[in-house]
Structure formats: C-alpha cells, structure tokens
C-alpha cells in the first residue's frame, strides 16, 4: 500500500468525525468495487482527496428525494396501429 503524504493526513485529521465517517464509507465502497471488478487501485492519495471533495459537495447540495406514491401512474396513451391500406 502506498504511503499518504503529510498534507493528505493533515486534511483527513482536520475533518469532523461525521465527515470522516462518510469519507471512510466512500473509500471502502470504492475499494470493494475495485476488488470485485479486478481493477487496480491506482492512487490512494487521490482517492482520499476525491472522497473528501465528494462529501463536501454532497453537504453543500444534498440529493433531493421525492416521495413515492404507489397509487400514481404516469399518463399513457397507446395509439392503435393502422396499416397504410386502411387509410
């Protein structure tokens, strides 16, 4: 495993505990996906930095969730096929 630079370690240590937990989850998910697909993990330092950026971005603009209504159905309109001979 590659060694992280002092700047990256300092960045991670300055994060609040809840943010650090989210970063840790992103990193674990990424590593699990790499292992599952057999692709190498190229740069751990870049992975940590990008995970911090993703968490900060998600905190700034959280994902909007729509309530699901099981009774709602989209409007559908199916035209009857008519052959050119019928026209």
User: What are the structural domain ranges in the chain?
Assistant: 6-60
Are 76 and 82 contacting, i.e. CB atoms less than 8 angstroms apart? Answer: no
With 0-12 CB in 10 A as exposed, 13-18 as middle and 19+ as buried, what is 59? exposed
pLDDT in tens, the chain (87 residues): 567 788 888 888 888 999 999 999 999 999 999 999 998 888 888 998 899 999 989 888 877 777 777 787 777 777 777 777 766
| pTM of this structure | 0.64
């Amino acid at each position: 495993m590659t060694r992280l630079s002092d700047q990256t370690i300092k960045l991670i240590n300055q994060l609040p505990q809840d943010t650090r937990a989210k970063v840790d989850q992103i990193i674990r998910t990424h590593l699990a996906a790499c292992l599952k697909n057999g692709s190498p993990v190229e740069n751990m330092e870049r992975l940590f930095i990008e995970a911090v950026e993703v968490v900060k971005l998600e905190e700034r603009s959280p994902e909007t969730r729509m309530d699901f209504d099981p009774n709602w159905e989209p409007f559908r309109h199916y035209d009857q096929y008519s052959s050119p001979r019928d026209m």
